[in-house]
């Protein structure tokens, strides 16, 4: 009976997420796919969002452990987009970060068409304190102020962590070339 109750709770959570974020999730997926492939794919974006809901339903931890529902859902969506792009081996140019122009090395490497999967892989292997701001900044196009609110840390700390993460990634990418 506990399993049925757990499933019902997960289903309610997923239904709630659908009501709150579905349009935003699809829009985000379409944007990322367009940046990667330079063509719009509504069907593929909807499939990726559907896979996100399936993962939520299947693997949702206790709600108590989820500090930020939106960030959690978008992180799963980001992973689904990454898997989709990784399967197709497509390179793309990421957006440059004007707010953090002092870390030119990563921006130059991104402009030189470093593949999305390499950058995503390196971000995913950073410590959470460094990867979370990077994902929110580059994956969700959040401003530093919004990241600060989401992670409940000072804006200066966000800048510092973004700068540090970019330096680590730039070093790793330059060593791989």
Q: What is the pLDDT of residues 75-121, one digit of tens each?
A: 888 888 888 887 654 343 333 344 444 444 555 544 444 566 677 77
How close are the terminal C-alpha atoms of the chain, in Å?
Answer: 55
80/47 Cα distance (integer angstroms): 10
Collapse the DSSP code of 114 into the 3-class scheme (helix H, G, I; strand E, B; otherwise coil) and give the result: coil
Is the pLDDT assigned to residue 132 strictly greater than 80? yes
49/84 Cα distance (integer angstroms): 11
Is the pLDDT assigned to residue 124 strictly greater than 70? yes
């Amino acid at each position: 009976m506990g399993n049925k109750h757990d499933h019902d709770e997960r289903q309610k959570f997923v239904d709630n997420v659908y009501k709150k974020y579905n349009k935003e999730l699809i829009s985000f997926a379409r944007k990322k796919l367009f940046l990667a492939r330079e063509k719009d794919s509504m069907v593929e974006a909807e499939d990726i969002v559907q896979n996100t809901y399936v993962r939520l339903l299947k693997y949702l931890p206790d709600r108590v452990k989820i500090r930020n529902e939106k960030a959690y859902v978008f992180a799963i969506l980001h992973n689904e987009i990454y898997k989709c792009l990784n399967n197709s081996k497509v390179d793309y140019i990421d957006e440059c970060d004007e707010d953090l122009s002092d870390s030119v090395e990563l921006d130059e490497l991104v402009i030189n068409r470093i593949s999305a999967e390499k950058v995503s892989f390196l971000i995913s292997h950073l410590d959470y304190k460094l990867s979370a701001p990077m994902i929110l900044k580059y994956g969700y196009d959040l401003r530093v102020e919004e990241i600060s609110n989401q992670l409940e840390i000072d804006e200066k700390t966000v800048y510092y962590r973004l700068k540090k993460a970019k330096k680590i990634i730039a070093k790793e990418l330059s060593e791989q070339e």
